[in-house]
Amino acid sequence: MSVSTKLFTDQMLNRFSRINEEIELRQTKISTGQEITQSSDKPIDAVRLSALEERATQLAGFERNVRTAQESLSLADTELASAFDMLTRLREIATAANTDSIAQIDREAFRVEVAQIRTALVGLANTRSTAGQAIFGGYATDIMPFRQNASGGIDFKGDDGEHTLAASETMRLPTSVNGGRVFMQVETASGISSVFDIVDSFEAALSTDNIVQNSLSAPGDPGLSVRFNGDRVPRDVSFVIAGPSGSANINVSEVVGGSNDRLIEAINAQSETTGVTAELSQTGRLQLSTDDGTVTISELDVQGVTLASKDPKFTLTTDGVPAQILAPVAQQLGSQLNKLIDAGQHIALSRTTVGARLERADMQEETLQARAVALEIEVNDMSAADLERVITELQSLLVNRDAARQAYSKISQSSLFDFLN
Question: DSSP labels for 339-405?
Answer: HHHHHHHHHHHHHHHHHHHHHHHHHHHHHHHHHHHHHHHHHHHHHB--HHHHHHHHHHHHHHHHHHH
Task: Give the pLDDT band of residue 4 (cuts 50, 70, 90).
Answer: low
- Whole-number pLDDT of residue 139: 87
- Whole-number pLDDT of residue 231: 87
Whether the predicted pLDDT of 324 surpasses 70:
yes
Residues with Cβ < 8 Å from 161, sequence gap 6 or more?
Answer: 138, 139, 140, 178
- Whole-number pLDDT of residue 378: 66
Average pLDDT over residues 412-421: 52
Average pLDDT over residues 327-349: 94
Average pLDDT over residues 222-236: 89
The answer to whether 253 and 236 are in contact (CB under 8 A) is yes
Whether the predicted pLDDT of 110 surpasses 50:
yes
Could you tell me what percent of the chain has a pLDDT over 70?
Answer: 76
Whether the predicted pLDDT of 269 surpasses 60:
yes
Residue of 4, 139, 10, 163 whose CA lies nearest to 73 = 163
Whether the predicted pLDDT of 90 surpasses 90:
yes
* 282 compared with 81, residue with greater pLDDT: 81
- Whole-number pLDDT of residue 275: 92
* 320 compared with 386, residue with greater pLDDT: 320
Distance between CA atoms of residues 145 and 138, nearest Å: 9
The answer to whether 297 and 240 are in contact (CB under 8 A) is yes
Distance between CA atoms of residues 189 and 124, nearest Å: 26
Number of H helices, E strands in the chain: 10, 15
What would the pLDDT profile of 132-187 be if each residue is shown by its tens digit?
A: 889 999 888 888 999 999 989 999 998 888 888 899 888 999 988 899 999 999 99
Distance between CA atoms of residues 145 and 168, nearest Å: 30
pTM of the predicted model, to two decimals? 0.78
Task: Give the pLDDT band of residue 419 (cuts 50, 70, 90).
Answer: very low
* 152 compared with 27, residue with greater pLDDT: 152
Distance between CA atoms of residues 264 and 362, nearest Å: 66
**138 to 145, 148, 166, 186: CA distances (angstroms):** 9, 18, 17, 18
Distance between CA atoms of residues 238 and 164, nearest Å: 48
Handedness of CA 103, 106, 108, 110 (dihedral sign): negative
Task: Give the pLDDT band of residue 409 (cuts 50, 70, 90).
Answer: low
- Whole-number pLDDT of residue 106: 86
Whether the predicted pLDDT of 125 surpasses 90:
yes
- Whole-number pLDDT of residue 390: 56
- Whole-number pLDDT of residue 20: 67
| Least confident range of 230-244, 279-293, 344-358 | 279-293
Whether the predicted pLDDT of 40 surpasses 60:
no
The answer to whether 144 and 157 are in contact (CB under 8 A) is yes
Highest mean pLDDT: which range of 95-104, 137-146, 214-223, 347-356:
347-356
Whether the predicted pLDDT of 244 surpasses 70:
yes
Distance between CA atoms of residues 296 and 154, nearest Å: 38
- Whole-number pLDDT of residue 394: 59
Mean of per-residue pLDDT scores for the chain: 84
Could you tell me what percent of the chain has a pLDDT over 90?
Answer: 50
- Whole-number pLDDT of residue 55: 80
Task: Give the pLDDT band of residue 379 (cuts 50, 70, 90).
Answer: low
Residue of 307, 304, 333, 281 whose CA lies nearest to 230 = 304
- Whole-number pLDDT of residue 375: 76
Whether the predicted pLDDT of 34 surpasses 80:
no
